[in-house]
Structures are given as C-alpha cells and as structure tokens.
Amino acid sequence: VLLIDNFTTMSIKFLHKFATNLPSDTIEENYTRQVPKAAFSYVKPRIPSHPKLIHISKEVQNLIGFSDDFIQSETFLQLVSGAEIISNAKPFAMNYAGHQFGNWAGQLGDGRAIVLGEIEHNNQVFTLQLKGAGATPYSRRADGLAVLRSSIREHLCSEAMFNLGVPTTRSLSLISTGDEVLRDVMYNGNPAMEKGAIVCRIAPSFIRFGSFELFSSQNDIENLKLLADYTISNYYTEIQVEGKEKYIEFFNNVAENTREMIVHWQRVGFVHGVMNTDNMSIHGITIDYGPYGWLEDYNPNWTPNTTDAEGKRYRFGNQANIALWNLYQLANALYPLIEEAEPLENILNTFAKKYDEDFSEMMWRKLGITSKKEENDQLIQQLLYNLEQTETDYTIFFRNLNQIHKTDSVEDCISKINFAFYKPEEVTGIILETWHFWFAQYLTILKEETASDNERKSQINSVNPKYVLRNYMAQTAIELAEKEDYSLVDELYTLLLNPYNEQPEFEKWFAKRPDWARQKIGSSMLSCSS
Ligand code: AMP
Ligand code: MG
C-alpha cells in the first residue's frame, strides 16, 4: 500500500454520544483496577513501533464514508493503529461484567479494545473500536495486545459473516504493529513471540449483555437505567412506550434479535466458541471472533474451542440454549427496572418455542421446500441423524442439493451429494439404506412442490453458501501472512464477498477439510489465546 502523506482535507468528527451520556471513570491514569459506577475509562492507545496496513474492507470503507485518499493517508494509518489520536477523538475502554462458562466473573471490561468514537455517515451512527491497541484499566493480568493470527481471523470472519447475511460487527482494517507479542498458543508451557496486529471494528455500539450486568451487580440502579435509556433511545428507537413497559419491550427486542442471529449461525454452520455474556451484543449481532469455527462434518457436539473441550458448553448444537441462558442473565440484570418477573419470564418461556419454529422454517429453506411443513418435520430430524451418522460435510451437502431433480432416482441423489461424504467408501449397507429412505421421502415432497427444479435451485443457492471460511483456509492464510505474504488474506476476503455465488475461479475452496487439517491447531481446534 502506497502511503501519501498529503492528506489534509477530510475531517472526521467524532460524536461522543456514549461518553457524554454515560458516567466515566474519574481516574484517567491507566492501571489495572476495579472501576465502580462508571461505564468506561478514558485511555490512550499504545503507540505501535512500525504500523503497516495489511488489509482494508472496501465495503466497510464505503459504508462509513471514508474516501480512498483518506484510506491511503498517513493519518488513516495513525487512526487505525492507535499511533496518534486524530481529530477530536477521545478514546475510551468500556466497562462491563459477565458470566464466563456459566460462572459469574464480575468486572471484565475492554482489556484490549479501545473505542475511538462514533461517527455519522448517511444518517447512520458507527462506533469505531481498535482491538489489540494496548492495556486498559480492564486488562487484568494480560497485555492488551492481539496477535496477527487472531486478528486475521476476526477481520476475515466479520466480513464473511456479513456477506452471508449474518448480523455481525464489521471490520474496517487489519494492520500489523511491528511489535512482538508473547503467547502460549495451547496454554501448555510453550510461549513464543508472535507478530502483533490491530483490527478496527465497526458496530452501532459495543454495548453487551455484560454492560447491564455490571451496574445491576453493583446495585447501581441509576446507571443501569441510564444505560438502558441510552441504548433504547439510540438503538431501539421503535420502542415508544414509557415506564417499565419500555424495558420489557427492550428485553423482548433483544431476545428476538438474539434468536434470529442464532438461527443464522445454525444455517451457515458457525460455532462462536465463547458465548459468555460479555460476548453477547445488545444488538443481537455476532461479536468477538475468538476460537470460533465452521462445521465441516456435521456434528452438533463439536466446538472448536479447546478451552471448552471438557464441558462443550458452547458446542454447535447448544448455541440456542446458551443464548437463552444468557438472556436469563440479562433479564436478571434488567429486573430492577421492571420489578416484575412475569413479563420477563413470558418472553424467556416463548424463546424455545419460537426458536424451534424458526429453526425448522430455516431448515426447510435449506432443503428448498416451501410447502407441507409441519407434518414432515420428522424429515429434518432424520436428516440431522443421518448427517451425524455418516461423516458429511455440512456446507457441501446442502449446497449440492441444488443439483437434484424431481425426476431423479434415490441413487442419482446419493451420487450428487456423494462429494459431501468424508468416507464415501463407508456409505454402504444399513447407512446407505437410511440415506435411500431419506431421499425417497425428500423426492416425494419435491414432486408435490409447484416450484420447478430451476426455481428450487436458486432458492437453495440463496440460503446454502458455497463458500465459508473453513478453519484450515484461515489457518493457511495465517501461515503465509506470518511470512508477510498477504495474498491469501486478499483471496479469501474476495472469495467470501460472494459466498452464495459459484465463482468457478475459486472452485478449489469448495472442498472438504483436507486430512492434514483434521487435528491441526488452528485448523480444527483453537484455544482462547489470541
Ligand atoms: P474474550 O474471551 O476474548 O472475550 O475475553 C474476555 C475478557 O478478557 C475481556 O474482558 C477481554 O478484554 C479480556 N482479554 C482477552 N485478551 C486480552 C489481552 N490480551 N489483554 C487484555 N485483556 C484481554
Ligand atoms: Mg470478549
């Protein structure tokens, strides 16, 4: 990237909405501490030694209205590396608490994230946040930094998720800091130096469930109310009622958004990996890309997160339950503003039922079927059973359903999805029979559908991505990037701009996880180390 140093024209004006509406820490010194009765602490990003721009999301650049000149300027690099505080920015780290792996963890806060401020473009407010820009009062015993591998994963996945139609934070830029960071990747006593990096994330705000838990746990009802009112009046503007009804409605909307997000995760085969309440956005958008992963063979018990290998609390098939568990914590946190359990319980009690309905609706869409739903719901359960019994690639299986014709035989169907089987030679005998049985029923339903094969094909292609950011793909890009070759970061970013398109030039990425990646760190499993 060529840096032009003559940038002077564009002026970014930060709005300071969060900071002026919510209480700040009274101490401005940057040392690790408990910060009571404050939503954030002002803090200066650490100055990196040799910041270099690695990648920009052109889409996010356009979304927030940054010009090409600005993106290529030294000022931009200073902004997104934290090297200099530009314009009227007053960076801060947010305070929040949370439940981690089911246990109350008390104050957590942005240990290595720093909000630069909010900007407005096309009547939309965007908060810019640097991740990995140095220690804050919330860093506890950690260094406030982020390494290249986890930053590449966050940058690519944020954008991939957006292009898949999954609600998410965005990522504007990825830079390397030129500094070395010490990490013990598998927490097994093998620390090594890694390259430091910073991602500039974008979201309406970075308010989390844990932001509300913080004030509630401190019995600070005044600030709890302030935060709820702030969130509603800025981000849940459709809520027009007042009094406790307002907070009930708010909770209901958060529950709905969260549920919709989880249905999307299940649709595309995404496993978040660390669904702690501090990692749950109040907007119901995916946030904090850490040891996430994508299903390769369908396995509801799979989690990529080695830190969660024992309990598998955050496994693929448990994400809706955990979302509900997290919503219980949010309900508890908001309770002092409502002082009535019943309306909150009603919302929580309908969550599972609504989720099941949405889930089956979504699965029918993945199958390309528009009619005859309720009475055929067992077909979905049977399919999931089959997918689990036979090691079957989740993405490839659903995508290849686009090839099936109403006039096909069950044998035709099997041969069309055969590519999705990890061990096709083992699909024989009773397993093959269960697949025959399943496809026979599927074909019966297809024949009753009014949609033509072609119409169904485009329906299937619009909900079943052809390309997702498989763990081995990200890992391959990371290994090259560690040698300062960013070509694969670019390629995967470009590929994942259009995950539902065929893109024949990228056909090689429409492939099952290769065998070498099966047990490889970064390719199939990840720790929280980042
Ligand atoms: P996470 O599991 O990544 O969401 O992190 C949980 C908490 O640990 C949050 O409060 C983070 O800000 C903090 N944290 C994670 N990594 C670091 C780090 N390298 N330095 C400081 N704080 C961190
Ligand atoms: Mg987090």
**What does the H/E/C string look like for 108-156?**
CCCCCEEEEEEEEECCEEEEEEEECECCCCCCCCCCCECEHHHHHHHHH
pLDDT of residue 10: 58
10-residue mean pLDDT profile of the chain (530 residues): values are 46 94 97 98 98 98 96 96 95 98 98 98 97 98 97 98 99 98 92 97 98 98 98 98 98 98 98 98 98 97 93 97 98 98 98 97 96 83 96 98 98 98 97 97 95 97 98 97 98 98 98 90 86
Residue 118 pairs with which residues in a beta bridge?
A: 127
Q: pTM score, two decimals? A: 0.97
Residue located nearest, by CA, to atom 8 of ligand 1: 111
pLDDT at 523: 83
Return the percent helix, strand and coil in the chain, to nearest 5.
45, 15, 40
The tokens describing 335, both together, are: 């309770």
Of 278, 288, 308, 358, the catalytic one is 278
Q: Find the 235 Cα to ligand 2 centroid distance in Å.
A: 21
Query: What's residue 2's pLDDT?
Result: 41
C-alpha 67 to ligand 1 mean position (Å): 32
Q: DSSP labels for 166-198?
A: --B-EEEEEEEEEEEEEE-TTSSS--EEEEEEE
Q: Which residue has the tokens 């994230």?
A: 113
* C-beta of residue 269 within 8 angstroms of C-beta of residue 302: no
Pocket test for ligand 1, best of 34, 179, 278 (most atoms within 8 A of CB): 278
Contact 490, 451 (CB under 8 A): no
Decide: 142 in ligand 1 pocket, CB within 6 A: yes
- Cα distances from 272 to residues 288, 291, 446, 528, in angstroms, run 9, 7, 34, 12
Tens digit of pLDDT for each residue in 20-40?
999 999 999 999 999 999 999
Amino acid making up residue 244: K
SS (H, E, C) 214-259: HHHHCCCHHHHHHHHHHHHHHHCCCCCCCCHHHHHHHHHHHHHHHH
25 lines ligand 1 (CB under 6 A): no
Helices and strands (H, E) in the chain, number of each type: 17, 11
Mutate to test the pocket of ligand 1, among 139, 184, 305 (most ligand atoms within 8 A of CB): 139
Q: Is residue 112 lining ligand 1, measured as CB closer than 6 Å?
A: yes
The contacts of residue 162 (CB under 8 Å, 6+ apart) are 59, 168, 170
Q: How high is the pLDDT of residue 210?
A: 98
Q: Whose CA is nearest to atom 5 of ligand 1?
A: 111
Question: Count of CB atoms within 10 A of residue 425's CB?
Answer: 6
Q: Nearest C-alpha to atom 20 of ligand 1 is from which residue? A: 144
The predicted-structure confidence for 308-338, as pLDDT tens digits, reads as follows 999 999 999 999 999 999 999 999 999 999 9
- Tell me the one-letter amino acid at 492: L
For residue 320, the CA-to-ligand 2 centroid distance in Å is 19
As given in the structure block, the two tokens for residue 82 are: 């934290």
| Pairing relationship of beta strands 40-42 and 124-131 according to DSSP bridges | unpaired
Q: Is 527 in the pocket of ligand 1 (CB under 6 A)?
A: no
Q: Nearest C-alpha to atom 18 of ligand 1 is from which residue?
A: 144
**Catalytic site residue 278?**
yes
Residue identifier of the C-alpha nearest atom 13 of ligand 1: 111
Q: Is the CB of 145 under 6 A from ligand 1?
A: yes
What is the pLDDT, as a whole number, of residue 7?
52
Contact 413, 443 (CB under 8 A): yes
Asked if 272 contacts 319 with a C-beta cutoff of 8 angstroms, the reply is: yes
